[in-house]
Amino acid sequence: MLLRLRDRSSPAPSEITPEALYRGRRQWLAQAGLLALGGAALASAPLRRSEAQAMRLAGVTPNPRHVLASDEKLNKVEDFRSYCNFYEFGMDKSDPPVHAKAMKVRPWTVTIEGEVNKPQTIDVDALHRMAPLEERVYRLRCVEAWSMVIPWVGFPLSELIRRVEPRGNAKYVEFVTLADPKVMPGLRYRSLEWPYVEGLRMDEAMHPLTLLVLGAYGETLAPQNGAPVRVMSPWKYGFKSGKSIVKIRFVESQPKTAWHKAAPGEYGFYSNVNPDVDHPRWSQKTERRIGEFSRRKTLLFNGYGEQVAHLYAGMDLRKFF
């Protein structure tokens, strides 16, 4: 089933979609049988009746093993678009919504290179057509101990990876994001080494929970949220989710990632959400869900342990934090 996204670069009735409107559209999509939510290896919030109906219409059976905790309420789209980390556009959470408007997200290409049989440069519009888009509700948990629940839209990164045929010595995937001093005022500050680079081990990148994200809340991504394409592994801290990707490289050795280079004792390569491994300057045991007053207990692997714990069997998660 195809989920079509409204392109945010085309004129919109308002900058921000009121939640009620968004929910209305979502319900309409579901009733029309267009919302492909669920699927064999798909993590989703509990299904509302209309979504369950849509899944039956689409011939998709929800796999109860992958249904998440039952009280997950989506964050307001306004929270997602106004409380952001995108250091290329400034250090404050409110900087990216202001400054990222200057970033041109079309035309945009993603170059795929390194240890692959089929290196290529793909236009982002071709990415939209490459695989059926799915909506998946995942928690975004950030290292500073805040979280949101977002309906991401994209497709499993594994679909793209299979297409480019990685060679046997491709052990990691590196994501390089845009660094354009003309539109990114944050590049003047050496807070991080630019471009912002992130990475995943090959099995993490191939895991069905890892999404190549092209949208959220039924629309293409807003610039401050990493338009036109970002990556998302929901069991990891948010900084692993590189925004506005321009290059994907398949490499033999562990990529040198931006935050790890800046503070190796504070930010590890794996960065799996782990309440038992504190950040040296703060506890990771609890988190503040944006929009809520009281704090919640943080869950190991952000609550996705059943799906991903096997990837780290035998590894000391304190050492490989």
**Which is closer to ligand MTE, CB of 30 or CB of 200?**
200
Minimum CB distance to ligand MTE, residue 173 (Å): 15
Question: Are the CB atoms for 199 and 173 separated by under 8 Å?
Answer: yes
**Which is closer to ligand MTE, CB of 87 or CB of 250?**
87
Residues making up the chain, counted from first to last: 321
**Which is closer to ligand MTE, CB of 30 or CB of 176?**
176
Applying CB under 6 A, which residues contact ligand MTE?
84-88, 140, 142, 177, 196, 225-226, 238-239, 241-244
Looking up tokens 């404050």 gives 92
Beta bridge partners of 109: 123
Question: Are the CB atoms for 63 and 45 separated by under 8 Å?
Answer: no
Minimum CB distance to ligand MTE, residue 249 (Å): 15
Minimum CB distance to ligand MTE, residue 199 (Å): 13
**Which is closer to ligand MTE, CB of 1 or CB of 298?**
298
DSSP character for 143? T
**Which is closer to ligand MTE, CB of 243 or CB of 247?**
243
The whole-angstrom separation of Cα 222 and Cα 26 is: 18
Provide DSSP, 202-222. HHHHHSTT-EEEEEETTEEPP
The residue number with the shortest CB distance to ligand MTE is 238
Beta-strand (E) ranges in the chain? 109-114, 120-123, 134-141, 146-156, 172-177, 197-201, 211-216, 219-220, 230-232, 245-251, 286-289, 296-297
Beta-strand (E) ranges in 258-301? 286-289, 296-297
**Which is closer to ligand MTE, CB of 159 or CB of 180?**
180
CB atoms within 10 A of CB 194: 20
Provide DSSP, 51-69. HHHHHHHTT----GGGB--
Minimum CB distance to ligand MTE, residue 84 (Å): 3
Minimum CB distance to ligand MTE, residue 156 (Å): 19
Minimum CB distance to ligand MTE, residue 280 (Å): 17
**Which is closer to ligand MTE, CB of 101 or CB of 310?**
101
Minimum CB distance to ligand MTE, residue 39 (Å): 24
Per DSSP, the three-state class of 139 is strand
**Which is closer to ligand MTE, CB of 142 or CB of 209?**
142
CB atoms within 10 A of CB 28: 13
Minimum CB distance to ligand MTE, residue 226 (Å): 6
